[in-house]
Amino acid sequence: MSTQLFDLGGRLALITGSSQGIGLSLARGLGRAGARVVLNGRDRGKLDAAVAELRGEGLDAAAAPFDVTDPSAVAAGVAAIEDGIGPIDILVNNAGIQRRTPLEDFSVETWHELMRANLDSVFYVGQAVARRMIPRGRGKIINIASLQSEAARYSIAPYTASKGAVKNLTKGMCTDWARHGLQVNAIGPGYFVTPLNQALVDDPKFDAWLKGRTPAGRWGRIEELQGAAIFLASSASDFINGQIIYVDGGVLATL
């Protein structure tokens, strides 16, 4: 019975920004738990390579290339998945970017680029998928927030703003959609070894600071996010709504 609670067999999951890094790892974790997974990204070549990688592991994977920052492309992409593959049971809003610049030098154009990728996409894809889930009376939406939903660091103030907004948008989605049978929650990763963070991983000063700041004493491994995703995607979390689970090695627990 306990294992059945986490079984995703027969469910279809769409993971945005999943051609590499955290998104691909989450797709792998959901796939290994039994879900059929649909990978999304803008680079068709990278997306096809990721799908082939998962299929090589025996997982049921497909590609859905569309731009999550374009509402028309999102509507068409979600419709194509629903019509051609099946109804989306699980959505993971993972797509996002990082731009590091002191706030006084941050350009307006880059601000809007970051907000489109990190915040607008969560609204666009979340709304498009929820409109399909609501008539079915069920669905799981998992937004990828961040440690920076709660705390800021130098040179990433706009990223912090975007992820703080994702945290509260998650609560808003829950408030509107829980009555329709949807569960909307978020995962807040701490510092993980990813392509997005590679420059920080390679910086001896930052690496030493991070390990000293984190009670676990190390960087996170992307596969360590899979458990939280499986939990929030499964029947084990059917009465959990509007919550953010921080997977950060204890950073937020200590000064």
Beta bridge partners of 90: 13, 140
Q: Which residues contact 95 (CB under 8 A, 6 or more apart)?
A: 16, 17, 23, 40, 41, 68, 117, 121
159 carries an active-site annotation: yes
Count Cβ atoms within 10 A of the Cβ of residue 248 and give its class: 0-12 exposed, 13-18 middle, 19 or more buried.
Answer: buried
- Given a contact cutoff of 8 angstroms between Cβ atoms, the answer to whether 225 and 192 are in contact is yes
* Strand 12-15 to 90-93 pairing: parallel
DSSP three-state, residue 41: strand
Q: Which residues contact 210 (CB under 8 A, 6 or more apart)?
A: 191, 200, 219
Helix (H) or strand (E) holding 158: helix 157-177
Please pick, among 124, 154, 159, 246, the residue that the annotation labels catalytic.
159
Q: Catalytic amino acids?
A: 159
